[in-house]
Structure formats: C-alpha cells, structure tokens
Amino acid sequence: MIVLAAILAIFVYGMIAAMLGTILPNLSERFKLTPRQNGTIAMAQAIGLIIASVSAGPLIDNQGKKVGLVLGLALIAIALFLLPKASGYRWIVAYLFLLGLGGGIIVTGGNALVSDIGGERRATVLNLLNLFFGLGGLATPFISANLLNKNAFKLCYLTAVLTAATLIVNFAAPIPPPTGERSFQFSEAGLLLGDPRLYLLALLLFLYVACEVGVWNWLPRHLIAQGIDEGRALNILSLGFALGLLIGRVFGAGLLMGLEPKTVTLGASVLMIVTTYLALQTRDPKISWIAVFCAGLAMAPVFPTTLAMVGNHFDKATATAMGIVITCGWIGLAVSSKIIGGIAGGDPKRLKKALLVLPAFSVAMLVVHLGL
C-alpha cells in the first residue's frame, strides 16, 4: 500500500510535468499568448516548484511523508479544478504557480519515501519508481491528442479527478510517521550546507531539469512552428520523449545493478548532448520522433540516480538534502524557460534557436561530473 501510494503520486507528477507543454498550444490560441508570455507562465510554475521543494524537505523530515504527499496532492487538485475557469493570462500564471507548489512537495515526499525503502539498492528502486513518472508524462499528451481532441480544459478536469483519487489512497496508506533518526536538526545545518557534494549534485540537477522540462514545455510549440500538426506534435512528445523516459528507466535500473551511479549519469550526459541537438535539426515527423525518443532514453536515469546519490551520501536530513537539490533543479527550469522564451520573443519559429540551450546545458553537465 505504501509503494502504491508513492507510485500513484509520482504518476500524477508525471502527468502535470507534461501538462504545460500539452495545453500551451491550446491556451496560446485561446488567449493569444506569445512565447515570451509562455516563458513567464513556465517560470511561475518553476517558482512554485522552487518554493515548495526548499520548504517541503524540513516539513517532511519532521512531520512525515504522508503530510507532504497529502498536502501536495491537494494543491494540485485545486489548481487543476480552477485552471479551466481562468479568465486570462494573469490567472493562468497564478494557477500554474499553485500547480508548481503541489508538484514540488510530492516530488520531494515521494522520492524521499522510496529512498528510505530502497536501502542499498536505492538507485535501482528510484529509477523504477520514476518509471511511473514517465508513464504519467506519456499519458497526458497522448490522452489530449487522441481522446480529448486537444481540449486543454477537459484534460485539466480529468487529471484533477485522478489526483483526488490518489490523494485518498495516500491518506489511507499506512505511511510510517517520522522516527527522528533522519529528521532535520538546525544544529546539523552547517554540516549539510558545508558539504561540497551537495552543491555539485544540486548543480547537476539544475542543468538536467532545465533540459528535461525544457522538452516537456517547449517541444510541441517548436514542432508546430516547424509545420507539424498539433496532434502529431503531442504524440511525438508522448510516444517519443515520454516513452523514451519510460523504457530508459527500466534499462537504467538494470545498469545500476552493476555500475556506479556516477558512471551512468556521465554516460547519459554525453548522449544528451547528441540527442537534444539532433532533435532540433529536422522538420520530418518520423525523424523527429526517433531523435526525441533517443533523447528520452538518454535523460531517463539522470533525475532518480542523482537523488539516489543524495540519499547515499546524506543519511540524516535526507528529505532536506533532497529538497535542496530538487529546488536547484526547479531553478534550472525557471532560468531556462525565461532564456528560451526571451530568445524566441514573439516568434515561435525562433524556438529552434532558443532550444539550443538544451545541448549547451548538457555539455555543462559533463563539466560538473569532473567535480563529482
């Protein structure tokens, strides 16, 4: 029951991670939004994720994972029920900020819960957990394109209902209360914040999340600007990128049975440079699908394996350390979204140039590995 609760929470987060990129073309058409405004909307969600992640760690360490998961899921459900009622750009920004708050809490809580369960096989178990993130990410654009006729508001209501059901499961699950052994103590803050590995892992996730969520949020708009039909663009996101993440995490879990986590993330960084660059160089939907699928495969193990490295190193205040590292990941999302939106300006066709941020950040990930 505990594992089911964590799986459903991460599945929901996978759905909302793909939500903005899925509904953005529809919202942009309805409200005449520019790429610069799209960037501000994405940044609002990222700010919500940042605030939630940095504050949720101590809350979860001291009050328990159940409190964090229930609170996060409640915020997501509220945001998704309200988003279809948005009357304009400012309300969309506000509801995406609320969605980010809920998402940041459940990412920290769900991964911290499974990190405790994983023990010595933490990296493998976290990759298997985040397989359901990929499944959720696949479901959102696929359902929108093939079942809901790309209707953004129907998608919000459907996801809100699934989130509410997941909240009930997490509330009922016998998730153990905090024991105090791994809780956050302010007296230990100096040791935590003085460890250089915390900052290297945080920088690694900063760069990685900028790349992954950059694909989630911007790929459909980029493909549409290249002349690809919206429905086909959403299917490239779901059956290309999300499916690549899904399959990649299965392979990643197997690789981590015999390889060091740092070796896996280093190899993934190299592949990310190649695949994210190639994904931007074609207008052919079939070639684009192949490149995006390979990018998903390459990215798949990085997020959960980085969190496993955090769990391996910080045996106390684990959720707090994870919260700090994840927060830096969301800062990467905010920075990259603003850069991408700023470069593109008012012209969606300039997204091809703007999205070169992704292979550039992948190169920077290699440099961070030298420090690790």
pLDDT at position 187: 47
pLDDT at position 81: 94
Domain CATH for 300: 1.20.1250.20
In a domain? residue 181: no
In a domain? residue 184: no
pLDDT at position 118: 64
Is the pLDDT assigned to residue 73 strictly greater than 90? yes
Structure confidence by residue, pLDDT tens digits, 320-341: 787 788 888 888 877 887 888 8
Specify burial of residue 179 (Cβ count, 10 A radius: 0-12, 13-18, 19+): exposed
Q: Which of 103-117, 180-194, 289-303 reaches the highest mean pLDDT?
A: 289-303
Which sign does the torsion angle of CA 7, 168, 48, 279 carry?
positive
pLDDT at position 184: 46
Quote the domain boundaries for residue 342. Answer: 2-175+189-371
* DSSP 8-state assignment for residue 355: T
pLDDT at position 93: 92
- How many CA atoms lie within 13 Å of 167's alpha carbon, on the beta-carbon side? 18
User: Whole-number mean pLDDT of the chain?
Assistant: 85
In the chain, what percentage of residues exceed pLDDT 70?
Answer: 93
pLDDT at position 34: 83
DSSP string, 15-78: HHHTHHHHHHHHHHHHHT--HHHHHHHHHHHHHHHHHHHHHHHHHHHHH-HHHHHHHHHHHHHH
Total domains in the chain come to 1
Average pLDDT for 191-208: 86
In a domain? residue 180: no
Is the pLDDT assigned to residue 226 strictly greater than 60? yes
pLDDT band at 257; cut points 50, 70, 90: confident
pLDDT band at 316; cut points 50, 70, 90: low
